[in-house]
Amino acid sequence: MKERITITLNKEILAELDKRIDGTKIKNRSHAIELFLSRILGNNRPKKAVLLLGGKGTRFRPITYELPKALLPVQGMTVPEHLIALFKKYHITDLIFSVGYKANKIKDYYGNGSKYGVRITYVEEKEPLGSAGALKLAGELLKETFIVTNGDELKDIDLEEMYHFHKQNRAEVTVALTTVNDPSAYGVAKLKGNRILEFVEKPDKTDAPSNLINSGLSIWEPMALRLIPSGFSMYEKDVFPKLARRQRLYGYPFSGQWFDTGTPERYEKAIKEWKGLK
């Protein structure tokens, strides 16, 4: 619920405020003041992010017989280091690394996060649990709205804007959606307005319901964790369909850079074309 108030501002401050209004991201003076106050109070973003780093990287063998995929470099930094930079840009510094395969090498490399100016906590899968199972393992650490991201994708996304979108829609999970020319290799979103009806997995290009795919980053409310079954599970298959039926799954399309490094070919493309964060 919003409440109308009257405030008095210095003319110079008001002029600076007006320069920030673009009619889209910042619609008017009231919106601008609300956004800037939210930033100061820390109410414009989730407090924690989970990075899923437990995969074996089988498509990168023989390299990943020795080195976990989370240590492969892109332009002088690992993909998780690029993600840390994204989170720090939005003052998200409490990170949870979900690890499994070659966990000790990942822990040795990233440590407690102090060298990056963040705090890293680890949860470790003793056996593969899948994307949802890994989240369930971290459940005791996730009591407020949080971000989940795959650890092998580069992305430049406005997390503040996405967070506001998530809260305005009262979503349990909001999935960041990116556009690709050929969605046939991905989970493709079928939408009704901003609400996701379903993800169609790897459809033929001509049958795809849209060109919007799951970018591998989502914002969650802790209540959604209750939908995760015990044992191995994938949130794409075992959680998202349940949320869609309850009309609590939303999609946030974004136009920033996105690169999947999950195969050698896509990894090479990311190395050549990633332009860094704005």
Instruction: Report d(CA 260, CA 211) in Å as an integer.
Output: 16
Active site residue 202: yes
Instruction: Report d(CA 22, CA 19) in Å as an integer.
Output: 8
Rg (CA), the chain: 20
In this structure, are residues 89 and 277 in contact, taking their beta carbons and an 8 Å threshold?
A: yes
Pairing of the two strands 212-220 and 195-201: unpaired
250 burial type by CB count under 10 A (0-12 exposed, 13-18 middle, 19+ buried): buried
In this structure, are residues 52 and 131 in contact, taking their beta carbons and an 8 Å threshold?
A: yes
DSSP 112: T
In this structure, are residues 64 and 57 in contact, taking their beta carbons and an 8 Å threshold?
A: yes
Identified catalytic residue from 27, 202, 205, 275: 202
Instruction: Report d(CA 254, CA 243) in Å as an integer.
Output: 21
List residues with catalytic annotation.
202
